[in-house]
Structure 1
Amino acid sequence: MKDDLVSMDDIDIRRSNAITPDGVGIAYQMSGSGPALICGHAMGMDHSMYDRHRASFSQAHTMITFDQRGSGMSDHPPFEEGEHSAYTVERFGDDLKAVLDDAGVEKAMILGFSMGAVSALSFATRWPERVDKLILASAMASRLPQPIIDRARQVEDMLEQRGVKETHEFYFSGPLFGGLIEQESTREQIVRGGEQATAHGFKGCFRVTIDRPSLVEHLHVIDSPTLIMVGETDTHYLAEAELLEREIKGAKRVVMPGVGHAMCAQRPEQFESTVLEFIA
């Protein structure tokens, strides 16, 4: 089945650049008007993963997308190990805050998908008063399960041996992504991500997504309405969605039937309608 893609030609997109406290430039895009909705993207991709949703999300909201540090058109600072790394959970939350500050948005609805959920949780657990509503899709606050960490180590080894472009494609060919690399629309986004990727940016984002401390002990501070979205076949994330629902006061969990980790690409219409219903 051919995917229905949205043309950006008829949508007024304002582009800008925010600077984080550690001097990293974060590219961001705004469209529409109304209450703010900021969207964080998945590992190895950029803001364009939300292009197909821009027309709908911008209809009654100011939609903000951004490229996380190490991704897309944002700066790709050098990777280094240890506490001074430019790639940490805290820095990812700082990226989101820098965008909101630069855009003059005091309070926003936040949508985070996979790696974007790490940024969303980092922000929401430090500045809960600035969160209107929170949507966590394919999210994990705990340390990741060992099978995912093991594959991550394979990916890091491959990065050293074969370079970033081949490694990027290998990462998206894994079982977590359920054949997205074979789909026309998502393959284009994946290829674009690989072309924009740098070794240090990819490794840095990878470490924040895979090798990071648990955020579970901080979840109790979140007091905004929260939607947890998880795919029915996303084995490693189903139990995590239950944990998030338990730990975040008043959170609501939605299990999307017949999809895995990449729900927004596998069932874009259902993903979109679920989000729109929640933010209405």
Structure 2
Amino acid sequence: MPYIKTSDGINLYYEEAGEGDPIVFVHEFGGDMRGWEPQMRYFSRRNRCIAFNARGYPPSDVPESLDAYSQERAALDIGCVLDELGVQKAHIVGLSMGGFATLHFGLLRPSRALSLVVAGAGYGAEKQHEEYFRGVSNEVAKQFLAQGSGQYSKTYGLAASRIAFLVKDPRGWAEFQAHLGEHSALGAAMTMRGVQARRPSLYDLEDRLKDMQVPTLVIVGDEDDHCLQPGIFLKRTIPASGLAVLPKAGHTLNLEEPALFNQLVAEFHATVGQGRWLPRDPRAVPTQIMKTS
């Protein structure tokens, strides 16, 4: 099985396919690299596609120490994947937890990113819900350990933002839930406590995000309530960013609407490659409603 070793000695399982400009896919908390299969198959026709399982997600290592898990570490692990595979720069595509890691990678290693796709990222970012999010994250960790992934996945998979997926694609949702049930309960708990519950709010990163020049596409579903406002915030804050809102879509965007997701990302990458994904023109002043002089 192919592994890369991180700078702190953790083995991460990965798979790759195709040739061309590299794309690295970073999965969400409730998924793993298998959730990127519709994208691996589509983009590997023209790109070198790499997907990996985060630490805590077998067959990657499952560290037992909470100190091995953090938001910064998750971002650094993306860099370790690039380093170990000899990739100087890549397009980074992340969903939810992976979207946060992708965004932080852009902040920490902007010279290594051709572009960023930040999809479904926002949980815990809203300041009014920050303490609630931390509390419920720790409760989720507790339940994974108490019930095991096989049992608790039946509850976690029915979160409000997953219902759109269940309604439109019951077979796809069932596969997602089955994969979740195969996760390490310890890895899920440690990830929830070490990464999710301790990560900073996106709003606390405003000054750093304003200075980040990496081309960025933000994607959210219109039924993923707690990602909508953070998505608008990211669009208004990151200079070279665009926002796509998918109608009647929840949290698991790339699986719910694979054709639309792939089309948006492919068009974004093509525009970046042509040097035409530009920062907002200073003439487009958002406070100006109509021009009178």
**Does the Cα contact within 8 Å between 1:48 and 1:189 map onto a contact in 2?**
no
Task: String of CA shifts for 1:63-105, please: whole Å, max 9, x gaps.
Answer: 111101111321111143xxxx111011101211111111100
Shift of 1:55: 2.1
Query: TM-score, with normalisation over the residues of structure 2?
Result: 0.82
Q: Shift of the alpha carbon at 1:118?
A: 1.8
How far apart in 2 are the matches of 1:59 and 1:279?
A: 14
Q: After superposition, where does 1:187-198 map in structure 2 within 5 Å?
A: 187-195=174-182, 197-198=183-184
Aligned to 1:132: 114
Match of 2:63 among 66, 74, 77: 77
Q: How does 1:78-97 map to 2 (within 5 A)?
A: 78-80=64-66, 85-97=67-79
Q: Aligned runs of 1:73-222 on 2, under 5 Å? A: 73-80=59-66, 85-140=67-122, 143=125, 145-146=129-130, 148-149=133-134, 151-178=136-163, 180=165, 183-195=170-182, 197-207=183-193, 208-215=195-202, 216-217=205-206, 218-222=208-212
CA contact (8 A) 1:180 1:187 kept: no
Cα distance between partner residues in 1 of 2:95 and 2:146? 29
Q: Does 1:49 align with 2:49?
A: no
How far did residue 181 of structure 1 move? 5.7
Deviations 1:29-50 (A, max 9, x none): 1111000110101113211101
State the SS of the aligned residue for 2:244.
strand
Q: Deviations over 1:240-259 (max 9, x none)?
A: 01111122112111111111
8 Å CA contact 1:228–1:241 kept in 2: the answer is yes
Instruction: Please list every run of 5 or more consecutive structure 2 residues that lacks an aligned counterpart in the other structure.
Output: 271-293
Greater C-alpha Rg = 2
Alignment of 1:7-46 (within 5 A): 16-46=2-32
Deviation at 1:184, TM superposition (A): 1.4
The 5 Å alignment of 1:237-256 reads 237-256=227-246
Q: Residue 178 of structure 1: SS of its match in structure 2? A: helix
Is contact 2:137–2:196 with CA below 8 Å preserved after alignment? no
Alignment of 1:261 with 2:261, yes or no, is no
Report if the CA contact (8 A) 1:44-1:71 is conserved.
no
- Give the letter aligned to residue 219 of structure 1: L
SS at 2:2's partner residue? strand
User: For residues 191 and 120 of structure 1, what CA distance do their matches in structure 2 show?
Assistant: 26
Q: 1:65 aligns with which of 51, 54, 73?
A: 51
Pair 104,95 (structure 1): closer, same or farther in 2 beyond 3 Å: same
Structure 1, unmatched stretches of 5+, are 1-14
The structural deviation recorded for 1:272 is: 1.3
Single out whichever of 236-245 and 169-178 deviates more from structure 2: 169-178
Match of 2:285 in 1: none
Query: Amino acid of the residue matched to residue 37 of structure 2?
Result: D
User: Could you tell me whether the CA contact under 8 Å between 1:173 and 1:180 is conserved in 2?
Assistant: no
| TM-score, structure 1 normalization | 0.86
Calculate the aligned-residue CA RMSD, in Å: 2.0
Rounded to whole Å, the distance in 2 between the matches of 1:205 and 1:221 is 29
Partner in structure 2 of residue 8 of structure 1? none
Q: Is the Cα–Cα contact under 8 Å of residues 123 and 133 in structure 2 kept in the other structure?
A: no
% identical aligned pairs: 30
8 Å contact 1:72–1:193 — kept in the other structure?
A: no
